[in-house]
Structure 1
Amino acid sequence: MKLDMSTEIDQVVLIFKDPGRRLILRTVHEAANALIKEWPSDDGEEFLSAVKACLDVMIGKASSTELRSAILRAANEAGVAAVAVLH
């Protein structure tokens, strides 16, 4: 199975509680990296849904819009401020 990690998403800016700590997510790869390496906690229903959404986008079973929504819900659950940028 080939994974497509280059799929673009409408930008999401994550603002963590640590001063000056921000991430800009533009691709499914950046989203997955943020969830796995940068997320403040690795539990919670919305966190797990966002991780699953990343995998689903990579294999073509979900849209980038679904992933973006999952990330916004996971950020809310984790207390991470998220700014959704629309083009």
Structure 2
Amino acid sequence: MVLKYAPQDPALAAFIKPAAQPAPPAALAAPSPEPSRPQPPAPAASPPPATTGKTLVSLRIDTDLLAAFKANGKGWQTRINATLRTAVGK
């Protein structure tokens, strides 16, 4: 006995799979993805260090001295530098 597939019969549809379809030729295949967007230019390099001859250092000073310099607002590091310059006579 040969059974014919009837799409309207859900009991048979669960057991019968459609035949595999051959792969489409390359010309008919899905289009390739969009070309990637151009990347933004890399950020500019940091400016060269100032030519003032300053060197970054780590210095431990008393808390009350630091508080006194910071109490006058911005520029406290410059004021410490000026005070040290005066202390060494330059």
Please give the range of the TM-score, normalised by the shorter of the 2 chains.
under 0.3
The structure in which a higher percent of residues are strand is: 1
Question: Please, what TM-score do these two structures have when normalized by structure 1?
Answer: 0.24
Q: Which structure has the greater CA radius of gyration?
A: 2
Q: When you count helix as a share of all residues, which structure comes out higher?
A: 1
Higher relative contact order (CA 8 A, sep 6+): 1
